[in-house]
Amino acid sequence: MIVLGLTGSIGMGKSTAARMLQAMGAPVCDSDAVVHGLLGRGGRAVPVIDAAFPGVVIDGVANRTALGAAVFRDPHALKRLEAILHPMVQAAQRDFLARAARRGAKIAVLDIPLLFETHGERRVDATIVVSAPFAVQRARVLARPGMTAEKFAGILARQMPDAEKRRRADHVVPTGAGRLVTRRALQGIVRDVVRRPGRHWPPRGYQPGQIHHA
């Protein structure tokens, strides 16, 4: 099985590309959805978050707005949150890959917003970065309800620049020239990678639910 890592900056079309890959038959693990599960009712991270960020957990659920307020202005707090969540996200990804391999998938996709920031390129066979011109990205993001130019600037400042992501990518997929162009580019990558030998899943010594540190 070949493991593809999919990433891209805010509004670049990562979710759309993930859906396209899924429609081509590749199972996709959405890291944002995993984080939502970890922070939601019964989520594994909730007790740890409660201890690390007092007051943020209300009625068994981590309040994302309160957590965002606690971490997005304080780089040390963000690091503490990431140290809690990222190993749990990686454990969930490994479980997902083991399930996909058992089902006989030829390709599996990890959709990871912070792929390069978390050195995810070491855990996948090839990386895909979705990218569009800045004006397209800006227009898409500012069209979202509740988004402001100031918030957008803040989010961009915390993310690795698009140019750096493109530089590190094995494949850059354009998303600013229509869906057909995007779908064709993704089809080309899928066709190309199925011919290559992938890594063996599950890896030797793998235990479901185990947390692996990068």
Ligand X SMILES: Nc1ncnc2c1ncn2[C@@H]1O[C@H](COP(=O)(O)OP(=O)(O)OP(=O)(O)O)[C@@H](O)[C@H]1O
Residues at the interface with ligand COD (CB under 6 A): 10, 31-32, 35, 64-65, 67-68, 71, 78, 81-82, 85, 89, 113-114, 155, 158-159
Q: If binding is defined by CB under 6 A, does position 179 make contact with ligand X?
A: yes
Cα–Cα dist 135/12, whole Å:
11
Instruction: Please identify, using beta-carbon distances, which residue of 21 and 190 lies nearer to ligand COD.
Output: 21
CB 165 within 8 A of CB 8: yes
The entry of ligand X, ligand COD, none that residue 182 binds, CB within 5 to 8 Å by partner kind: ligand X
CB of 39 to ligand COD, least distance (A): 6
CB 137 within 8 A of CB 27: no
- Retrieve residue 111's tokens: 């959709």
CB 96 within 8 A of CB 29: yes
Q: Which residues are annotated as a binding site?
A: 11-16
Site for ligand X in 47-106 (CB under 6 A): none
Helix, strand, coil: what percent of the chain each, to 5? 50, 15, 35
CB 121 within 8 A of CB 4: no
CB of 32 to ligand X, least distance (A): 7
Residue nearest to ligand X according to CB distances in the complex: 13
Residue nearest to ligand COD according to CB distances in the complex: 68
CB 29 within 8 A of CB 110: yes
Cα–Cα dist 64/6, whole Å:
24
- Retrieve residue 197's tokens: 């030998």
- Phi/psi zone of residue 11: left (φ > 0), alpha (ψ -120 to 50 degrees), beta? left
Site for ligand X in 114-143 (CB under 6 A): 140
Among 1, 6, 11, 62, binds ligand X (CB under 6 A): 11
CB of 195 to ligand X, least distance (A): 25
Site mask for ligand X (CB under 6 A), range 149-178, x = bound: --------------------------x--x
- Retrieve residue 122's tokens: 């070491």
Q: What residues line the site for ligand X (CB under 6 A)?
A: 8, 10-16, 113, 140, 175, 178-179, 182
